[in-house]
Amino acid sequence: EVQLVESGGGLVQPGGSLRLSCATSGFTFNRYWMIWVRQAPGKGLEWVAKINQYGSEGYYAESMKGRVTISRDDSKNSVFLQMNSLRGEDTALYYCARDADSGHALSHWGRGTLVTVSS
Amino acid sequence: ESVLTQSPGTLSLSPGESATLSCRSSASLSNIYIAWYQQKPGQAPRLLIYGASNRAAGIPDRFTGSGSGTDFTLTISRLDPEDFAVYYCQQYGDSFGPGTTVEIK
């Protein structure tokens, strides 16, 4: 069974940093793109970042470009999101998701980790 | 980067009725990059449709995706009580639409 479990969220002051982790199991991790998606309270989904299966290419949404870095560690079957210079508008539930086998879509999602940016 | 819009914002329907959800892109997209997701309160999104018209594993055949270019549609026939949720379209690897809420009338 494919599983994705996010961790690392919490309360952080504006301007602070957090590193989110997503531990995965149940599939061959190094064969898939991995994606972070966030959802502010009561709002819609927003794509944040994605990384290719080799870890050589990372792409970022304009809203977070320059403040986030996505990375992966295949030895740990994990993907990470380093977030810096956090703002109130970054408050959201951050989901980790996996690329689908059969198409360009996100077939598996974690339950999310909540990031709250507030003083 | 294309912008996705969804309409209507909210659909109020009764179980057994059909729902037609629209997703429009500001630029023409390849079908292979359009996906639809369902999200219920307190849950992660669930993939319904990929490649504009292909049902994901385990998705009932009352969910049908169609469209091309800039106009895409998700049709839910014979609404089941479990289908009342928020639906998002996505240009894969990129932006999501703002969502359509399908609520019980």
Q: Which DSSP symbol is given to A74?
A: G
Across chain B, mean pLDDT equals 95
Contact flag A33-B97 (C-beta cutoff 8 Å): no
B49, pLDDT greater than 90: yes
CA distance A79 to A95: 11
B21, pLDDT greater than 90: yes
pLDDT digits (tens, 9 = 90+) for A80-91: 999 999 999 999
Chain B contact probe: residue of A22, A60, A106, A107 with most B CBs at under 10 A: A106
**pLDDT confidence of residue A83:** 98
Task: Please give the structure tokens belonging to residue A27.
Answer: 């599939």
Assign A38 a pLDDT band (cuts: 50, 70, 90).
very high
Across chain A, mean pLDDT equals 96
**pLDDT confidence of residue B31:** 81
Instruction: Count CB pairs under 8 A between chains A and B.
Output: 70
Q: Which of A8, A27, A25 is nearest to A17 (CA)?
A: A8
**pLDDT confidence of residue B6:** 98
**pLDDT confidence of residue A103:** 67
Task: Please give the structure tokens belonging to residue A11.
Answer: 């309360």
pLDDT above 90: percentage of residues in chain A: 95
**pLDDT confidence of residue A24:** 98
CB B20 within 8 A of CB B12: no
Interface of A with B (CB under 8 A): 33, 35, 37, 44-47, 50, 59, 62, 95, 100, 102-107, 109-112
A26, pLDDT greater than 90: yes
CB B18 within 8 A of CB B62: no
Chain A residues with CB-CB distance to B32 below 8 A: 103-104
B83, pLDDT greater than 90: yes
CB A30 within 8 A of CB A53: yes
Which amino acid is it at B46? Answer: R
Give, for A20, the enclosing helix (H) or strand (E): strand A18-25
Assign B92 a pLDDT band (cuts: 50, 70, 90).
confident
Q: Which of A47, A103, A110 sits opposite B95 (nearest CB)?
A: A47
Query: Quick one: CA dihedral B21, B24, B33, A38, positive or negative?
Result: negative
B66, pLDDT greater than 90: yes
Q: For chain A, give the longest Cα–Cα distance.
A: 44
Mean pLDDT of A47-51: 95
Question: Backbone phi, then psi, for A37, in 5-degree steps?
Answer: -130, 145
Contact flag B90-A109 (C-beta cutoff 8 Å): no
A102, pLDDT greater than 90: no
Three-state DSSP state, A15: coil
Mean pLDDT of B4-31: 95
Q: Which positions ≥6 away from A65 have C-beta within 8 Å?
A: none
Task: Please give the structure tokens belonging to residue A98.
Answer: 């996996």
Mean pLDDT of B7-15: 97
Give, for B68, the enclosing helix (H) or strand (E): strand B63-76
